[in-house]
Chain A
């Protein structure tokens, strides 16, 4: 099986057994590839005594912790093949992940993203309003995951317009012009969860402006919920408020990470995040990393068939989640559907080496 072949399926058509078979095959190949070509990955598997040949299920694919990408630049292709080193956005002061991308991985990320998005909005290119600032994509040197995400999305759109100016201020004229032009037809909106809330929604609300995007508008948004959780804004509230302030009826959140661009997990009409045939999700018990039954909370392992230039096909995240079910979501999509509960909390460790300095002048 190859990505090329997999693209012949629609993203949510395979049921558990068929998907398990296909992914086991893909992940065995990928694990073998990275084992042969990424020296650090090989050392890890050797130390843990995990052999690519021992893989007999999706659950048995060796996984590596997401933090590894913050400390090491892991690459499974010759250095001259690397076209871009992607960095995760990461909040200030945090170390960021660095991901080595070659032409093939980038291309596959783009194709799979298209495939997944198209399954929601159709294959045609729609007028696209980015709820962010153009500066994020302008400077190629600063080009992080945020810029890449926007760039990746622009290919689904035409007449790409930015709703925020260089200073992250709402450009109401641009938004209104765009709306006047495309009011009747389908419109595509894209942005980052918190940015939309902070720089678009709240600004409109402050100024008492309501917009009417209407029934044919679809918004995709991605990014962390941490700051919104602090503001006590959950997904329900988010949708309700965007409906009230802008009359956007179709709002899809998706879960994606810089370490696995492309094979995103998109929310369905029932509010569940879905794994496509290009990805999978396994909830692991923190006690022993064993897979947990559906409905139980644990650490989320995310899997993607796309990474060939870096060993990121099976990553244990620091997020907790619950798989709600498989193949039986009311939206009709096959595959696992799940929800994310947020980042695991930091341990309050005892002991004398402490983190005192930051709290104490």
Chain B
């Protein structure tokens, strides 16, 4: 079938037709050519003046460093010894996180797959800068082995590219939430292929009040929490919306005062609350007041931070999500009540003043069907090769079994 590329913009590709990528060899995970290519892209980005203005590009460039890739490979150890990439991976990046396409692309290549990534059709400088770096690096003879294994494309709703690319892929990686997944799934994939889906998720933060007061710098913690929330409009799946305060009433009271004050000071000069977001927050306060038992909204001087104090945790809590700085709070002495409401929808549990291993033991012992990530405050948005409970390298590669 000749590719109908009328409505698709190829940002980078080195094959006459994308279908030809099906015939390329599968590589083992962390193949040296792939690692070499990614670290060269990272270096290129770090020396690109235009990239300096984008902290997300710099973070990606650091992810691509040779030493980091070597460390990641080492962590896998023998788990990837008998593996090969599954073939062609087709990635649909979300429209609102500019950098995501780069990470999903890197994960696909590292797994040993060829990658076709659909970047957001919105115009982002990050897309242009990274695509330019990729194209420049792939012109060099030493990366010839990777040259034809990657295509970066973009297209609008009118394009039939999703149907075409779905029909030829071995793994389809869908970012962007429930509605996008439903839309993309209307396009069939070959019988042996499967989807890795990143659905709409809900995330929480647990704070030990006493340890926070004793061991944490208020300003530094506020900055970390800001990076988890306001930096992306509190609209990422991993962003905390529910905060569980653990401790005695007195400690919680003192910790809250310190925490929110510091967050306000850090956020005020950096974050602009749009009028419609201010309305959304008020609306959420009203919806919670009506739908949840005995909620209390502490007085706030402005619309920067909206806090809603819950008197009980119920399963419908995720229905009251609102972007742009809206937080539900619950006071407790341990996480039992939280564990009772965790559903498949829960993704990240970030923490302050708690121990990751203990939290992990708690979640596994409780047999929770949600919570796939337990990370310290400030790290909720950090990309890792394990995301939403998938190991991306293992999922996008297959085992060559020998007996």
Contact = CB atoms under 8 A, between A and B. Distances in A.
B290 A352 contact: no
Given A65-B279, A286-B273, A361-B157, A350 B96 contact: yes
Contacts of B96: 349-352, 354, 356
Interface string A38-75: 00100110111100000000000000110110011000
Given A357-B179, A357-B182, A286 B236 contact: no
Main secondary structure of the interface of B (DSSP, over half): loop
B368 interface: no
B235 interface: yes
B296 A47 contact: yes
A358 B100 CA distance: 20
Given A46-B289, A47-B296, A65-B283, A354 B233 contact: no
Given A43-B289, A49-B296, A349-B235, A354 B323 contact: no
A347 B290 contact: no
A305 interface: no
Contacts of B234: 351
Interface string A318-353: 101000000000000000000000001111011111
B275 A316 contact: no
A289 interface: yes
Interface residues of A, number: 39
Contacts of A347: 233, 274, 276-277, 323-324
Contacts of A345: 274, 276
B350 interface: no
A51 to B, nearest CB: 13
B200 to A, nearest CB: 5
A47 to B, nearest CB: 4
A47 B279 contact: no
Contacts of B282: 65, 289, 316
Contacts of A49: 296-297, 299
Contacts of B295: 47
Nearest to A359: B157
Contacts of B159: 361
Given A318-B276, A359-B95, A352 B236 contact: yes
A44 B177 contact: no
Contacts of A354: 94-96, 176-177, 180
A72 B233 CA distance: 27
Contact of B279 (A48, A316, A349): A316
